[in-house]
């Protein structure tokens, strides 16, 4: 799972923004890495593949130094420690980068909330400097949104022309030699998905309405590629055709394997949520650790001690844990002293597990009667408090 923007609200042209895209938030890092690594890079790439991996994974706490013969871009320091942005397998990121350097698309698959979208944003920012050429896949996504549409006022007034053509983000990426992102591709109807087949194989897009003009055939510029994402839970919504699957390399993004790493990420992101709201973050580490532990136990179907846990049908993702931790932080900020933050945790967990199936409330109650009770009996004050709040789950 990757991190999100952790800066306060940024502004552009006087308008406040909750989230800053990675190419802007990490502009200094991107400029530094472009000057730092002068090795071979694929056509039109902003960074070398090695530097792109470093951008995503960070420099492991090391401070990098520009070569003596490399001029520092304006406003960029000569020494910089690159922040780690993705908590996961470095080899996975390396495979993703190698895929994008070739001529096959990259499909990131995994359970909801494993930061597939954030990883695709980071990769796009590293490769082409923008993560904004994106199509959000839904049941209502049309083929025009993957190919092109028309400004119908100009179309009626002047007929088909370059001015009347409205390029999709994919067509814009083809022309610029950039990365196009297609979110939730399996939520698109099969006929819409299949419009990607020729784009990925032939690397060109025909515009029959402009036959006889230079714009009748758009060729992909060097550097063009596609990153798509798909949730494993949505696999059966609109199954991808075999032809489209062959155009992608599949990479699975899994949950974070380490408790400490996941807790640190939840702390960092939930703190950012609260600070963007203009408040101070006051959630103890013991509360966060209990929260993340509960999510991991329920997600994996087994506690850290090895006790069996009945898994709810809801995905207990890290993203959901961040949402709960952020809610606890906001409650502590806006209602200080009204209630112990730990006391709010059972109610929030109940809200999460009941999203998909109300019957999951019974599974959460079973978790309380199992690991929560046992930890309380072993003397943990935190889990004793949670055990004493069992009645909240029976309401």
Output the domain CATH number for residue 78: 3.40.50.300
- CA dist 178 and 45 (Å) reads 8
Residues 247 and 292 in one domain: no
pLDDT at 237 (0 to 100): 73
Under 8 Å between Cβ of 387 and 373: yes
- More confident site: 337 or 197: 197
Does residue 183 form part of some domain? yes
Residues 245 and 269 in one domain: no
Please give the residue range of the domain that contains residue 73: 10-252
- CA dist 108 and 88 (Å) reads 13
Structural domain total, the chain: 2
- CA dist 180 and 168 (Å) reads 10
pLDDT at 7 (0 to 100): 42
Using 50, 70 and 90 to split pLDDT, how confident is the model at 338?
confident
Residues 222 and 276 in one domain: no
Out of 182, 217, 252, a domain closes at 252
Mean of the pLDDT values across residues 64-71?
92
Does residue 147 form part of some domain? yes
Crossing angle of helices 341-353 and 381-388, rounded to 10°: 60
Whether the predicted pLDDT of 352 surpasses 70:
yes
Bridge partners, 227 (sequence order): 106, 181
Residues 347 and 279 in one domain: yes
Max Cα–Cα distance, the chain, nearest Å = 80
- Those residues whose C-beta lies under 8 Å from the C-beta of residue 98, and which sit 6 or more positions away, are 49
Residues 268 and 194 in one domain: no
- Residue 307: strand, helix, or coil: coil
Does residue 85 form part of some domain? yes
- CA dist 23 and 30 (Å) reads 8
Burial per residue of 100-121, b for 16 or more beta-carbon CB atoms within 10 angstroms, e otherwise: bbeeebbbbbbbebbbbbbbbb
- More confident site: 10 or 178: 178
Residues shown for the chain: 395
Helix ranges, 40-115 (H): 49-57, 90-101
pLDDT at 100 (0 to 100): 97
Supply the pTM of this predicted model. Answer: 0.89
Using 50, 70 and 90 to split pLDDT, how confident is the model at 18?
confident
């Amino acid at each position: 799972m990757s991190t999100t923007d952790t800066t306060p609200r940024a502004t552009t042209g006087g308008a406040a923004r909750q989230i800053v895209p990675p190419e802007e938030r990490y502009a200094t890092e991107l400029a530094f890495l472009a000057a730092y690594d002068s090795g071979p890079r694929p056509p039109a790439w902003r960074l070398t593949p090695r530097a792109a991996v470093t951008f995503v994974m960070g420099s492991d706490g090391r401070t990098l130094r520009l070569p003596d013969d490399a001029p520092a871009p304006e406003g960029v320091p000569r020494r910089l420690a690159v922040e780690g942005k993705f908590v996961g397998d470095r080899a996975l990121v390396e495979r993703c980068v190698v895929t994008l350097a070739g001529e096959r698309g990259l499909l990131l698959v995994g359970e909801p909330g494993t930061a597939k979208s954030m990883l695709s944003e980071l990769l796009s920012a590293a490769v082409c400097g923008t993560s904004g050429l994106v199509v959000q896949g839904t049941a209502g996504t049309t083929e025009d949104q993957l190919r092109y549409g028309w400004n119908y006022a100009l179309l009626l007034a002047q007929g088909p022309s370059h001015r009347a053509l409205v390029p999709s983000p994919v067509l814009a990426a083809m022309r610029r030699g950039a990365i196009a992102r297609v979110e939730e591709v399996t939520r698109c109807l099969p006929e819409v998905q299949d419009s990607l087949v020729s784009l990925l194989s032939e690397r060109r897009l025909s515009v029959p309405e402009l036959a006889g003009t230079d714009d009748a055939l758009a060729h992909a510029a060097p550097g063009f590629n596609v990153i798509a994402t798909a949730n494993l839970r949505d696999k059966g919504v609109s199954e991808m055709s075999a032809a489209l699957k062959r155009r992608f390399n599949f990479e699975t993004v899994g949950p974070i394997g380490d408790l400490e790493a996941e807790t640190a990420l939840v702390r960092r992101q939930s703190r950012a949520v609260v600070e963007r709201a203009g408040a101070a973050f006051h959630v103890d580490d013991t509360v966060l650790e209990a929260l993340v532990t509960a999510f991991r136990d329920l997600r994996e179907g087994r506690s850290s001690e090895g006790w069996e846990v009945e898994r709810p049908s809801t995905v207990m993702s890290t993203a959901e844990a961040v949402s709960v931790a952020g809610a606890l932080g906001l409650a502590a900020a806006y209602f200080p002293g009204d209630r112990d933050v730990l006391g709010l945790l059972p109610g929030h967990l109940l809200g999460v597990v009941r999203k998909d199936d109300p019957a999951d409330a019974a599974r959460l109650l079973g978790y309380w009667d199992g690991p929560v009770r046992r930890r309380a009996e072993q003397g943990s004050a935190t889990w004793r408090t949670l055990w004493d709040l069992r009645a909240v789950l029976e309401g």
